[in-house]
Amino acid sequence: MADKQMTSLEEKLSELEKLTVQLEEGKLPIDEAIAVYSRGMELAVSCKQSLDSLSQRIQIAKKNAQEAISLENFEPNGSNSDL
């Protein structure tokens, strides 16, 4: 799922870059420029949501790893091997 989400994010970013180039060239008729700008804003919001989701997954994975490390260092007799 992460690969699919990342591919989708990469595709969105690529499209957003192309739209940005079109707007920066300044050759589009105003109606088309507005449509391109609107599509770019939709993509920007979607990319932010994807990045937020990926960031949340990273935070969860980090927390799980820290908990696993803490459990490994815990000895049932109450002593800690690091002390």
CATH code of the domain covering residue 57: 1.10.287
Domain count for the chain, please give it.
1
Question: Looking at the domain assignment, is residue 31 inside a domain?
Answer: yes
| Per-residue pLDDT at 53 | 93
| Per-residue pLDDT at 75 | 59
| Per-residue pLDDT at 68 | 86
Question: Looking at the domain assignment, is residue 80 inside a domain?
Answer: no
Question: Looking at the domain assignment, is residue 78 inside a domain?
Answer: no
Q: What angle do CA 45, 47, 49 make, to 5 degrees?
A: 70
Predicted TM-score (pTM) of the model is 0.69
Question: Looking at the domain assignment, is residue 14 inside a domain?
Answer: yes
Question: Looking at the domain assignment, is residue 64 inside a domain?
Answer: yes
| Per-residue pLDDT at 22 | 97
Question: Looking at the domain assignment, is residue 79 inside a domain?
Answer: no
Question: Looking at the domain assignment, is residue 53 inside a domain?
Answer: yes
- Residues of the chain with pLDDT below 50 are none
* C-alpha 52: how far from chain center: 5
Structural domain that includes position 60: 2-71
Question: Looking at the domain assignment, is residue 76 inside a domain?
Answer: no
Rounded-to-10 torsion of CA 39, 45, 49, 54: 80
| Per-residue pLDDT at 82 | 54
